[in-house]
Amino acid sequence: MKEYLTAHMAWRHAMTIGLLLAAPPVAAQPRSFGGFQIPESAVYDEGRDAYLVASMGAGDAGFISIVNPDGTLRQRDWLADGKDGVQLVRPFGSEIHKGIFYVADTPFVRSFDMASGKPLRSVRVEGATVLNDLAISSDGTVYVTDMGDRSKSVAGGIYRIAPDGTVSLFVSGKEAANPNGIAIDASGNIANVAMSSPRLFLRSPEGQLLSSIDLGYERNDGIIVLEDGSIIISSLGGGTLLRVGPDGNVSPLAAIDSPASIGFDSKRRVIIVPQLRRNSLTLVPLPR
């Protein structure tokens, strides 16, 4: 989920909102499947050729489901709070890296063995309000967004967790803008969207803001980066998936209600979209 951005091409060229609204949507044939419980994120598991979907569940009892590419449920509770020593209260963003499954579960970033599901480590992020999405660099450094609290003017931030578990603050204050989805490009730069800003941000690993693009909407949630350098964003504010091309042009891809943190099935070129309010998963094919 979150790779392959060509960092130096498009970030200077933001489209106007008028052009965004005028652009025709790309034809797609989404398919939706129900039976989830407040699904927040999804990732493609190449080893299983399946999707791992994180659901918040009811009563602070989260779980991770294994879903077949045709949308059928393979295993509802591969990981579940209280099962086999697993703690999983309200899982949000998730990611896979080198045989390990990571999930943001405030105030922790938890990790599990992909083969066995065995809990490996829980790193506490002190001071976090709502840990949301995460991305992992090639050396195993985890970047996790803290969405803060818009109603209380708490801007949140982005934290960095080193491979040894050391936690440091990467972005904070007003420039954080209640960050949500996050990704890492092929050059190691960090891209993220936010709830309180309509912009897509690109920062260096040192935290320097390199550039940003106006998406036309606030309340943006998920982000994935494709092999051609384009970026797909799920926008709660727009009720849509947006595509940012390698040239920086922004266009609507598909209308989706309450899209959360998205994943990408690279084998089938399908965007995996959890829908919070609908308790469903929608699969959106990309044009070849």
17-285 has CATH 2.120.10.30 classification = yes
pLDDT in tens, 44-79: 999 999 999 999 998 889 999 999 999 999 999 999
pTM of the entire predicted model:
0.88
Task: Output 265 or 31, whichever has higher pLDDT.
Answer: 265
Q: Is the pLDDT of residue 269 over 90?
A: yes
Q: Write out pLDDT tens, residues 122-160.
A: 999 999 999 999 999 999 999 999 999 998 889 999 999
Q: Is 245 exposed, middle or buried (0-12, 13-18, 19+ CB in 10 A)?
A: middle
Give the span between the Cα atoms of 119 and 110, in whole angstroms: 8
Per residue in 221-252, pLDDT tens?
Answer: 999 999 998 999 999 999 999 999 988 999 99
Whether the per-residue pLDDT at 23 is higher than 70: the answer is no
- Beta strands across the sheet bearing 31-33: 31-33, 280-285, 270-275, 263-265
Task: Identify the pLDDT of residue 164.
Answer: 97
- Domain residue spans in the chain? 17-285
In the predicted model, what is the mean pLDDT of residues 114-129? 97
Q: If you average pLDDT over every residue of the chain, what do you get?
A: 90
Q: What is the pLDDT of residue 32?
A: 82
CA dihedral in degrees (154, 221, 88, 128; nearest 10)? Answer: -20
Residues in contact with 100: Cβ distance below 8 Å, sequence separation at least 6, in sequence order: 111, 112, 113, 114, 120
Report the C-alpha gap between 78 and 75 in whole angstroms. 6
